[in-house]
Each structure stands twice: as C-alpha cells, then as structure tokens.
Amino acid sequence: MSIMMSELSWDEYQRRIRDDAIVLLPVGAVEQHGHHLPLGTDWMMATYMARRAAENVNGIVAAPISYGYRSQVRTGGGAHQCGTTNLDGGTLINLVKDVVKELARHGARKIAVIDGHFENRFYLDEACFLAIRELQWAGIEDARILKMIYAEKISDETMEKVYAGGDYPGLDLEHGGILETAMMLYCYPDLVHLDRVKDEPLPEFPPYDMFPGNPDWVPTSGALSSGKLATAEKGKLLVEEFVATVTESLRREFRNPA
C-alpha cells in the first residue's frame, strides 16, 4: 500500500489514521534556483525527505504545499527571475493551519510539518501554534505537531566531504549552490543541468534589506553560489544524513514511550 495520501482511497487512508500513523506534511516553495535546477526544487526535496522518513516510521505523506513565503534577496535571490511564485505570510500561515486542522479532523494526532524553504520558517511556527490552539478550543487536546527544516543541521564530517576541493561560501549563499545541486543530482538527476551552471562572483550583500528588492544585488543566474562541484555522491551523503535526522526526530517525539 502506498504511503502517499493522494494515492490512497479514503477508506485505506482512514485505516492508516486509525492505526496511529504519523502524517507528514511537506512545505516548500516555487522559486528560481539558477539555470540548472527546477523551480520546484524546495517542495520536491521536502516531499522526498518526507517520503523517505515516512517509509521508516510507517507514516503517511500528505499532499505537499508547494508554494511558500516570498523569496528574499539575501537568501533566495528575490522574485526577479520568472517563475518564482510567492505567498504572503498570512496566506501561508492560514493555508498550513487549515491543512493541519483538517488532518486532525481526520483523526491524525501525530503530525509533522517538513519545511524545505528557509523563508517559511517563522510563518510555519505561527501556523502550528494557531492550529494547536484552535484544536484545543475545539476540544481536541491530544494533537501534537513536530515542525522542522530538514536541512537545519549538517555534520562537520559531511560538510568536509561535500566541500572537498572547493571553498565554502556559507549557508546564507547556498541557494542553488553545491548543497541543493548535489541533493537534486541524487534524488532527481534528470532535472539537473550541470552544463548550465554559471561561474559568477559571490554576491556581497549589505547587512540590511531594501524594499522593493534590488535585482542588482543578485547574480544574473539567480543562484547565490556555484553548484559546479556538486555530485550525486555528495548528494547521497547529505540526503541520507537528513533522512536519518528526520526519522530520528519522528521516533523521538512520536514513537518512544513516555
């Protein structure tokens, strides 16, 4: 039987929920990642991580929320390239809150929100807080939500291997760079075009933001650093570490006896 909610019939899904399945909700973004990566990189990777972790904990992956909070110039290149499709913060909060409440209405009591887009972070915090508060007001006292950015922590050992032979630009500039390119090469190789990676100078951002955003701050490709040294082997190191982290987190909070 599939672990993807969208591939289950309603009664198959109901049986899984009644068996106390953890429900994972991937949230990402539709955002440019340079010339070499697809617009769906963030939601596709969040969904991949959720699926792999769900396989390990006998969970269910809810239909992903593909759109996310607006791309910021200093972390995601902004919205200057065609295709980046942004939600207002309030829209994202209400969308995630409503989906989580619906999952709880179905009977889910162990829900995990898996974030693949840095800019979503605090809006997802608010969505989860409001969902729990409103569920409690409705008399549902036992629902719990785990929210995590799947790539928030990377071991020093993995970082050394991933950046062997190259300079580390810093996580702030890892948009469309080695990390995301390597992971996509491992998970979705047919969607990566390494021959299109541009060698551009790293941006030198000031310690502030401007509104409207200034496209001159961002390399013309939209990527904030080069992904040319990415390989599927490096992607495997990253992905398998992240899958293990998500799996361990789910087991710690939802499967270990109190």
Q: Which residues are catalytic?
A: 31, 33, 42, 117, 119, 175, 180
CA angle 18, 97, 151 (to 5 degrees): 85
Of residues 168, 163, 149, the one with CA closest to residue 242:
149
Token pair 């490096």 is found at 234
Helix axes 178-187, 232-250, angle to 10 degrees: 90
Q: How far apart are the first and last CA of the chain?
A: 30
Query: Which residue type, as a one-letter code, is found at position 105?
Result: R
Residue-wise DSSP of 11-53? HHHHHHHHTT--EEEEE--B----SSS-TTHHHHHHHHHHHHH
Q: Is 180 helix (H, G, I), strand (E, B) or coil?
A: helix
CA–CA distance from 143 to each of 6, 57, 100, 110 (Å)?
22, 18, 10, 6
Token pair 């970082």 is found at 159
Token pair 């991580």 is found at 49
Of residues 188, 183, 246, the one with CA closest to residue 24:
246
